[in-house]
Chains A and B, each alone.
Chain A
Amino acid sequence: MAADSYAGMSGLVQRSAAAYAASVPEHPADDGFFGPGSVTWRLSADLSGPVPGLRSLMVQALHPLAMAGVDQHSDWRSDPVGRLAATSAYLTTVSVGDKKTAERVSARVRRIHEHVRGVDPVTGQPYAAGDPALLLWVHATYVDSILVAARLFGTAVPAADADRYVAEMVKAAELVGVPAAMVPASVAQLDEYLASVRPQLRATPAARELMAYLLDPPGLDPDIAEIWQDVREGTIGSLPGWAREMYGYPMAGPLTDARRTEIRQALGVLDTVFLGEPGVLEARQRLALRMRAARAA
């Protein structure tokens, strides 16, 4: 199926913003699974935001079974913006929502996953989205992407905090159905795990098609499309070399400081637009106030 069989991406910013604002609770029952003093909360507000989202999708898609599940079951093609918005809402709720809400949205994801089963046409292997091994892959690539993007384009995380973050995120994996014992709890364990999966990875035609679409989505407003070029370049630049090679993206060389600055600027502009959407500033202020109170305590 050609990339143009995907729907356009107009409304990406508005719908992501609305999903975000709605996912930051106004009257939380508790501080959730991580709390305002956590590294998770701090990173949830990092400027680099859009890059890890895109980067983790790119790495995740290199797992043929994960990609087959997306390709055969997800509503990516008909409603890509809704898909992205729902994913980011889910991540926001798990990160900063209260426990009950985080558990509720996780249970829903687990229920949906029960129906996502099939056979990957490339490897001939059966897959199930509820398979803890696949869920762990999705989890680990996301956690890794958050740290890599913050280091390159946002506020870098000190090594100790990076370890803390990976350890905090074990709970997020558990919520979606991965036994805690399987989940890396430090940066070293995370790296080890990611390396262990690498032999199974390859860029299938479905993965290439989805990425071609995500990296150059039709229907963006012209000014957002311009900014998206930087998000794309930052994302590709942030990939591990082996992932870039699998996709066959040209090696643009290492990101220079000047280029990183420019991508950072683009992310700042994008963030400004995001901030202009209804409810986003208030949501951020709610979180900032709670984080501040936690720091003072």
Chain B
Amino acid sequence: MKRGTLAALIMGVGTSAAVTVALRRGHGTRMLRLNRGLAALQLAARGGARYAGSAPRLFLLAGENRQQLRNDLALQTAEDVATTLGAMKGVLMKLGQMASYVDDGLPPEARRTLGRLQDSVPPMSAELAAGVIEEELGAPPSQLFAEWDPVPIAAASIGQVHRAITRDGRAVAVKVQYPGIAETIEADLGNVSLLRRMLRIIAPGQDVESLLTELRERIIEELDYRREARNQQLFAEYYDGHPTISVPKVVSELSTRRVVTSDLATGARFSELTTWSQHERDLAAETIYRFVFRSLYDMRAFNGDPHPGNYLFHGGGKVTFLDFGLVKHFSVEELRPLMDMARYLCVENDPEAFRRSLEAAGFLKPGAPLGTDVIVDHLAVFYDTIRKPGELTITGDYSSTVVRRFFDVRSPIAPYAQVPRSYVILQRINLGVFALLGELTATADWRAIAEEIWPFVQGPPSTPMGEAEAAWRATRPAERISRPPS
């Protein structure tokens, strides 16, 4: 094991190798690094996470992942589950996922350790999975469903996905959680002294207790599938009938804390999309872009996971959005400064007002001894795609510049900048979306699309997709702003 791998895994600190080295050398950058590490972990705790970069994907095309699922090693009893994922392994898996989600990449050793940990968890046997269904839904799958495929089609982090056909003929994907895993992870999180000690090694003198509390809350929340089901349903209802955006509907009578049933989606994976024509890639990118910002401004909600595994592509810009395990709902008050920032910087060209909005939202400490031009210089990169009208190609270089800028501790504004808790997910998703669009080298007039969506502009449709979307919107009830689930 390379230095600090374990710490990286536990801490979710992408730079922990550097942290450890700095610690050992008593280097002057020590505190800076430590603080930066802690900040990353806080982001992890607050942002939450779904699936690691190398994690098995949900809702694969039928059979795609069968070879990787070690059915020959299937877990047969709840005790097998506890043996496999107890003693902190389930907790480490969740932490590692958070870390990979939030940071600009775990060090390779930590990524490998996490990947191996995930590989080490075989699927449930058919009987064990059926037992969970029976316990949760009151009857075995053979009675609940017209057809049930006992062989899982994909692994989820603490569960697996089965295909089935409901009694009324709907093809569905049923995500089933490992039995007892929630209790096992909760028990491990009930005894946090090991985690506390690991945190103290990396971040001496920091507020370890509040961090622990956040980590625990976030992980425990993710163990309950009902929240995810509610969010998915919200998005599915909102985008019902949309010309290019599709969200599988949840079958709520077949969903519980440990089981989520939703319409089965099939389509091309992201890796396949990258081999399609640039025109197709541009269309898919436009749909993703519209989805992200339409959801933010109309629903005041953000689907938190821009992981490439969470999309299916159907051509003509049609995209299915999967996995709503991490959704952030904003209040009107939380959304307003975000809108103001875009508006003052991009539309009204009023840097001082932009700065005031940053301060009001808590992104920038008020009274920082920095010229507004410096602040604009450093933050405008986040708005580069929408500051000026006209077609623009988002490249991989651009998206890595954005990510680097976001995590740059040497930036002059770093000492005064922070991401307030409410916006952590948003910021991370922005970065994730840019990374996706960069990988597609997507071209569009992003500004014109943004203008369509910005409530303070309400621009006319700027593309054929925009026309179709406007027609769809015209058929929708006026008041469609959704409420966060209680």
Contact B1 A277 (CB under 8 A): yes
Is A285 interfacial (CB 8 A cutoff)? Answer: yes
Which of the segments A171-179, A191-199, A261-269 contacts the partner chain? Answer: A261-269
Which of B6, B7, B70 has the most chain A CB atoms inside 10 A of its CB? Answer: B6
Is B171 interfacial (CB 8 A cutoff)? Answer: no
Contact B73 A288 (CB under 8 A): yes
Q: Which residues of chain A are within 8 angstroms of B86 by Cβ–Cβ distance?
A: 268
Range of interface residues on A (Cβ < 8 Å): 20 to 34
Which of B89, B109, B112, B114 has the most chain A CB atoms inside 10 A of its CB? Answer: B89
Q: How far, in angstroms, from A103 to B335 measured CA to CA in the complex?
A: 72
Contact B191 A265 (CB under 8 A): yes
Q: Looking across the interface, which residue of chain A has its beta carbon closest to that of B195?
A: A265
Contact B1 A273 (CB under 8 A): yes
Is B119 interfacial (CB 8 A cutoff)? Answer: yes
Is A124 interfacial (CB 8 A cutoff)? Answer: no
Which of the segments A33-41, A208-216, A220-228 contacts the partner chain? Answer: A220-228
Q: Which residues of chain B are within 8 angstroms of A14 by Cβ–Cβ distance?
A: 1
Q: How far, in angstroms, from A268 to B93 measured CA to CA in the complex?
A: 12
Q: Beta-carbon contacts of B1-34 to A below 8 Å, as 1s and 0s? A: 1011111011000000000100110000000000
- Mostly, the A contact residues are helix
Q: Which of B1, B9, B112 contacts A221 (CB 8 A)?
A: B1
Is A121 interfacial (CB 8 A cutoff)? Answer: no
Q: Which of A155, A227, A258, A281 contacts B6 (CB 8 A)?
A: A227
Q: Which of A222, A269, A277, A288 contacts B92 (CB 8 A)?
A: A269
Q: Beta-carbon contacts of A102-144 to B below 8 Å, as 1s and 0s? A: 0000000000000000000000000000000000000000000
Is A271 interfacial (CB 8 A cutoff)? Answer: yes
Q: Looking across the interface, which residue of chain B has its beta carbon closest to that of A47?
A: B87
**Interface residues in A12-50 (C-beta closer than 8 Å to B):** 13-14, 47
Q: Which of A226, A267, A271, A276 contacts B112 (CB 8 A)?
A: A276
Is A230 interfacial (CB 8 A cutoff)? Answer: yes
Q: How far, in angstroms, from A265 to B116 measured CA to CA in the complex?
A: 18
Contact B3 A268 (CB under 8 A): no
Q: Which residues of chain B are within 8 angstroms of A265 by Cβ–Cβ distance?
A: 87-88, 188, 191, 194
Contact B73 A292 (CB under 8 A): yes
Contact B201 A281 (CB under 8 A): no
Q: Beta-carbon contacts of B54-93 to A below 8 Å, as 1s and 0s? A: 0000000000000000101100000000010011110010
- Mostly, the B contact residues are helix
Q: How far, in angstroms, from A271 to B116 measured CA to CA in the complex?
A: 11
Q: Which residues of chain B are within 8 angstroms of A47 by Cβ–Cβ distance?
A: 83, 87
Q: Which residues of chain A are within 8 angstroms of B194 by Cβ–Cβ distance?
A: 230, 262, 265-266, 269
Contact A13 B88 (CB under 8 A): no
Contact A272 B113 (CB under 8 A): yes
Q: Which residues of chain A are within 8 angstroms of B20 by Cβ–Cβ distance?
A: 221-223
Is A188 interfacial (CB 8 A cutoff)? Answer: no
Q: How far, in angstroms, from A265 to B198 measured CA to CA in the complex?
A: 12
**Interface residues in B155-192 (C-beta closer than 8 Å to A):** 188, 191
Is A246 interfacial (CB 8 A cutoff)? Answer: no
Is B401 interfacial (CB 8 A cutoff)? Answer: no
Is A289 interfacial (CB 8 A cutoff)? Answer: yes
**Interface residues in B104-131 (C-beta closer than 8 Å to A):** 109, 112-114, 116-117, 119-120
Is B277 interfacial (CB 8 A cutoff)? Answer: no
Q: Looking across the interface, which residue of chain A has its beta carbon closest to that of B187?
A: A261
Contact A271 B87 (CB under 8 A): yes
Q: Which residues of chain A are within 8 angstroms of B89 by Cβ–Cβ distance?
A: 268, 271-272
Is A275 interfacial (CB 8 A cutoff)? Answer: yes
Q: Which of A264, A281, A288, A292 contacts B87 (CB 8 A)?
A: A264
Q: How far is the CB of A48 from chain B (nearest CB, A)?
A: 10
Q: Which residues of chain A are within 8 angstroms of B388 by Cβ–Cβ distance?
A: none
Is B210 interfacial (CB 8 A cutoff)? Answer: no
Contact A272 B5 (CB under 8 A): no
Contact A276 B87 (CB under 8 A): no
Q: How far, in angstroms, from A275 to B88 measured CA to CA in the complex?
A: 14
Is B197 interfacial (CB 8 A cutoff)? Answer: yes
Is B475 interfacial (CB 8 A cutoff)? Answer: no
Contact A289 B201 (CB under 8 A): no
Q: Which of B6, B72, B88, B120 contacts A223 (CB 8 A)?
A: B6
Q: Which of A155, A223, A258, A277 contacts B4 (CB 8 A)?
A: A223
Q: How far, in angstroms, from A268 to B10 measured CA to CA in the complex?
A: 12
Q: Which residues of chain B are within 8 angstroms of A223 by Cβ–Cβ distance?
A: 4-7, 10, 20, 198, 201
Q: How far is the CB of A122 from chain B (nearest CB, A)?
A: 38
Is B193 interfacial (CB 8 A cutoff)? Answer: yes
Q: How far is the CB of A272 from chain B (nearest CB, A)?
A: 6
Q: Looking across the interface, which residue of chain A has its beta carbon closest to that of B93?
A: A272
Q: How far, in angstroms, from A244 to B314 measured CA to CA in the complex?
A: 68
Q: Which residues of chain A are within 8 angstroms of B114 by Cβ–Cβ distance?
A: 276
Contact A272 B23 (CB under 8 A): no
Q: How far is the CB of B134 from chain A (nearest CB, A)?
A: 24
A223-B198, A276-B113 known; A261 vs B191 contact (CB < 8 Å): yes
Q: Which residues of chain A are within 8 angstroms of B201 by Cβ–Cβ distance?
A: 222-223, 226
Q: How far, in angstroms, from A143 to B239 measured CA to CA in the complex?
A: 64
A262-B193, A268-B88, A271-B87 known; A13 vs B116 contact (CB < 8 Å): no
Q: Which residues of chain A are within 8 angstroms of B112 by Cβ–Cβ distance?
A: 276
Contact B191 A275 (CB under 8 A): no
Q: Looking across the interface, which residue of chain A has its beta carbon closest to that of B113?
A: A276
Q: Which residues of chain B are within 8 angstroms of A230 by Cβ–Cβ distance?
A: 194
Q: Which residues of chain B are within 8 angstroms of A267 by Cβ–Cβ distance?
A: 87
Q: Which residues of chain B are within 8 angstroms of A262 by Cβ–Cβ distance?
A: 191, 193-194
Q: Which residues of chain A are within 8 angstroms of B113 by Cβ–Cβ distance?
A: 272-273, 275-276
A223-B198, A273-B6, A288-B73 known; A155 vs B83 contact (CB < 8 Å): yes
Q: Which residues of chain A are within 8 angstroms of B188 by Cβ–Cβ distance?
A: 265
Q: How far is the CB of A283 from chain B (nearest CB, A)?
A: 12
Q: Looking across the interface, which residue of chain B has its beta carbon closest to that of A274?
A: B1
Q: How far is the CB of B415 from chain A (nearest CB, A)?
A: 28
Which of A268, A271, A273, A276 has the most chain B CB atoms inside 10 A of its CB? Answer: A276
Q: Beta-carbon contacts of A199-239 to B below 8 Å, as 1s and 0s? A: 00000000000000000000001111011001000000000
What residues make up the interface of B, taking CB atoms closer than 8 Å to A? Answer: 1, 3-7, 9-10, 20, 23-24, 70, 72-73, 83, 86-89, 92, 109, 112-114, 116-117, 119-120, 188, 191, 193-194, 197-198, 201
Can you list 26 residue pairs at the A/B interface with Cβ under 8 Å? A47-B83, A47-B87, A221-B6, A222-B23, A223-B4, A223-B7, A223-B20, A224-B6, A226-B197, A227-B6, A230-B194, A262-B191, A265-B88, A269-B194, A271-B87, A271-B89, A273-B1, A275-B113, A275-B120, A276-B1, A276-B112, A280-B116, A281-B120, A284-B120, A289-B73, A292-B72
What residues make up the interface of A, taking CB atoms closer than 8 Å to B? Answer: 13-14, 47, 155, 221-224, 226-227, 230, 258, 261-262, 264-269, 271-273, 275-277, 280-281, 284-285, 288-289, 292
- The 4 lowest CB-CB distance pairs between A and B, nearest first, are A268-B87, A276-B113, A223-B6, A268-B88
Other contacts beyond A221-B3, A285-B73: 8, CB < 8 A: A222-B3, A222-B4, A222-B23, A224-B6, A230-B194, A272-B89, A276-B112, A281-B120
